[in-house]
Amino acid sequence: MNAQTAIPEVKTREMSYAEAIRDAMAIALERDPTVILMGEDIGVYGGAFQVTGDLVERFGTDRVMDTPISELGGAGVAVGAALTGLKPIFEFQFSDFAALAMEQIVNQAAKMRYMLGGEAAVPLVFRMPAGSGTGAAAQHSQSFEAWFGHVPGLKVVQPSTPADAKGLLLAALEDPDPVIIFEHKLLYKMKAQVPEGYYTTPIGKAQIMRPGRDVTIVASAIMVHRALEAAEKLAKDGIDAEVIDLRSVRPIDRDTIIASVRKTGRLLCVYEGVRTLGVGAEISAMIAESEAFDYLDAPILRLGGAEAPIPYNPDLERAAVPQAPAIEAAARQLVRREV
């Protein structure tokens, strides 16, 4: 008789998205003496969005370091630290400010391992609070995942849940290449069950959040939750939407998306970044160049941000990026069913 092996139950506890990120950083600091935290106001102040919290009190200023107000300088120090064998986690107060550090991120961090023939690695993580919805206006509300996803040598992820926010951060620290984590600001207070202890979420692997048969909706970050809200409305009228959480922008999980489109015959790409040259354009091209193209029953639709800076006015701000009703309407258009 073969005895069945019992699968241990994973213990979880409720955490907010911000708490899950803090938990991941605390675990990393405890497990690995080479991990350090860097950024503006991450020490006593606890971070611009209070994510680092009390980590400076727990691990000291040698491990949790406030940097001067110079994104270029701070990112450069992080690159140098990674080259010497440390694993820095560098926090930008807003992802928009990464524009000031493009030289270090794009020309140094992304290319160093390639230019040195693999003899050196740059294992660092850039944390970037991103997205609109907080009334922070045009210079503090952008979505730059497509910018950085265009650069070979970088990995780019967008966790949509507290569990993935923790798991992807811990996975990023195990990667020899620099990883950019875009954390949507509206998700920081979201709460859910998160596995305790150490675990990783694979970079480059999407997740089917809701199985369906009529239309595939690919989304990431806050758009995953808006897509799920739209899917519930569609289901009431018999339209069965499959919602895929992209999770990783670079690399993209081709297999999961292609398999879904082959099943549903319809694809809707939803993303907060500006529609033109956005992540949805890459996914659309990927499907057009794959075997899934022959299974399409309708043209691919992209639903992205407006071709304009993010407005300060709350109503205009909401109108500038996809909301659940717009996702619902686009899916209805794809299945050609009016209610």
Q: Which residues are catalytic?
A: 71, 140
* Residue matched to tokens 């045009």: 138
How far is Cα 268 from Cα 158, in angstroms, rounded to an integer? 18
Are the C-beta atoms of residues 298 and 332 closer than 8 Å to each other?
no
* Burial category of 68 from C-beta neighbours within 10 Å (exposed 0-12, middle 13-18, buried 19 and up): exposed
How far is Cα 47 from Cα 194, in angstroms, rounded to an integer? 22
Backbone angles phi, psi at 116, to 5 degrees: -100, 15
The H or E element that residue 254 is part of is: helix 254-264
How far is Cα 209 from Cα 246, in angstroms, rounded to an integer? 10
Nearest to 158 by CA among 250, 50, 75: 250
Cα dist from 149 to 24, 145, 153, 245, 297, whole Å: 24, 6, 9, 17, 29
3-state secondary structure of 175: coil
Are the C-beta atoms of residues 201 and 247 closer than 8 Å to each other?
yes
Handedness of CA 91, 204, 33, 153 (dihedral sign): negative
